[in-house]
Structure 1
């Protein structure tokens, strides 16, 4: 496949504002950075919300409503809303905004896992908000819960009822097996858009051999009915994405996954990372897909079907 989908994950729920002044927190910053990333070549925008007063990850539909219409007005890129939210949120909290907004796409974590962020705390000299240090340090006892019952509920409420398609986030080989289970139950239809997630402590390390094994496993489980994309948290973001592109896969970048543009150099925007990976994948002979092509490739319902 010559066409390549670039996803940009704009802000996430892992990094804290103290780590970078460029991490978008306010609705204005999230919308502006999302639109700029789309202009740089991102066909899909993976989104989380934050409380603009504190920078804390938020599940409040009002916080989402403050930037989603601006993004829709400013770009035709596909909006992909998280159903993962934050590991400290309940499933009801995580689904509150996606249920209200009925996006074209949602992310869906394919299993329960340890989600350890605490090594970050030691690298921050000054904390801007009082919630940040306890949030990071307490993650040595943090579990992101997404049981088969939870996954089935997301598939039902967001997929069957609202017509969303999914970015299946697989942090482990077992998550592919879980996806196959839901295919066998008839709850998921092709094409399956699989996002291999590397670099989160509790999931897979960013190692090339692991990626090749995952792709072979997905081929065995799903035949030709899947597309795969790669994100790597931290310094392996660009190397692993480039490897994915060379293998015929798709890529995800963004400040949710990595705050840097190169060693020791903070990315000043999400668009900088999109521009960087776009140059690399085009150098490999890949053609960057437009939002319209992304919708066709993934079988999305279209922007007219959303509720924002």
Structure 2
């Protein structure tokens, strides 16, 4: 849907560094096959851009353990197991994660694989069972890696609470509340209060950091509202390809600069990478294996 999406390692590196320079404290990274843009879990592709990013910025590097509904769990974890990063994303449950309605709106496709991939999501499940999550938490605890807990619905907060009660997750933890993905909670503004209140009730506000991700056209309004409710923000081309109505974002950094401008106008301060590490209790860049 956007010619500005970074695909090659060089493009991902350049956009990540620009986003960090614009003020992003955490860089949430996926990899793509440079030949056709297909999502890939291959460590050799990650190695073509992650070490370079780490050398050129002190932003926290966050490696996805999501990747794709088409990947096995071992594939999704392959690079994170090698890199032992400060932070990984972790989807807190299995779900009918789908973008298939987008296919009905598309009139042309950039690559041959895309149409079948997007349409096929209607019959695909993103799998993260309780055992999957337990195994990931147990394995990465030994590496000192902490998580961006992606919660796509209220039930995911209760799944998170289950693992907190089991002693596998210690505060302060980082909840990324995701709104507007088909299969998860909708992007209605009222749902921000629902998720925030549930998290407060389950964990106590002093034990977690709340963040907001709004998909598509909901990105900027929802994350702005979430900040007013005491949350942090995540923006980027993974979640929305637009900067404003009908205007495509030419980079992830454009979205970072826009939300930074909005929040600073509202008298909020933008955390540095060092401040983010302190807030989230991260192990530090010197303890990773990029």
Q: Distance in 2 between matches of 1:271 and 1:294?
A: 18
- Runs of 4+ in structure 1 deviating by more than 6 angstroms, as ranges, are none
Q: Distance in 2 between matches of 1:252 and 1:35?
A: 16
Equivalent in the alignment of 1:15? none
Secondary structure at 1:25 match in 2: coil
Q: Distance in 1 between matches of 2:111 and 2:218?
A: 28
Equivalent in the alignment of 1:282? 264
Q: Distance in 1 between matches of 2:98 and 2:165?
A: 32
1:79 maps onto 2:84 in alignment: no
Q: Distance in 2 between matches of 1:90 and 1:105?
A: 20
Equivalent in the alignment of 2:234? 252
Q: Distance in 2 between matches of 1:241 and 1:251?
A: 6
Equivalent in the alignment of 2:153? 172
How far the C-alpha of 1:247 sits from its partner, in A, is: 1.1
Equivalent in the alignment of 1:40? 22
Identify the match of residue 181 of structure 1 among 157, 162, 179: 162
The runs of 5 or more residues in structure 2 that have no matched partner are none
1:112 maps onto 2:87 in alignment: no
Q: Distance in 1 between matches of 2:241 and 2:235?
A: 10
How far the C-alpha of 1:124 sits from its partner, in A, is: 2.2
Equivalent in the alignment of 1:198? 179
Q: How many residues are paired up? A: 289
Cα deviation digits, residues 187-232 of structure 1 (max 9, x gap):
0000010000011100011011111011111111111201100001
Q: Distance in 2 between matches of 1:30 and 1:122?
A: 28
Equivalent in the alignment of 1:95? 77
Identify the match of residue 208 of structure 1 among 189, 192, 207: 189
**Alignment TM-score, normalising by the size of structure 2:** 0.98
Identify the match of residue 30 of structure 1 among 2, 9, 12: 12
The runs of 5 or more residues in structure 1 that have no matched partner are 1-18
Q: Distance in 2 between matches of 1:83 and 1:125?
A: 31
Q: Distance in 2 between matches of 1:215 and 1:128?
A: 39
Equivalent in the alignment of 1:219? 200
Q: Distance in 2 between matches of 1:199 and 1:116?
A: 11
Q: Distance in 2 between matches of 1:247 and 1:211?
A: 8
Q: Distance in 1 between matches of 2:83 and 2:36?
A: 23
Cα deviation digits, residues 16-71 of structure 1 (max 9, x gap):
xxx11100000000000000000001000001000100100000000000000110
How far the C-alpha of 1:125 sits from its partner, in A, is: 2.0
Equivalent in the alignment of 2:50? 68
Q: Distance in 2 between matches of 1:131 and 1:161?
A: 38
Q: Distance in 1 between matches of 2:119 and 2:166?
A: 39
Q: Kindly report the root-mean-square deviation, in angstroms, between the aligned alpha carbons of the 2 structures.
A: 0.7
Higher relative contact order (CA 8 A, sep 6+): 1
Q: Distance in 1 between matches of 2:69 and 2:37?
A: 16
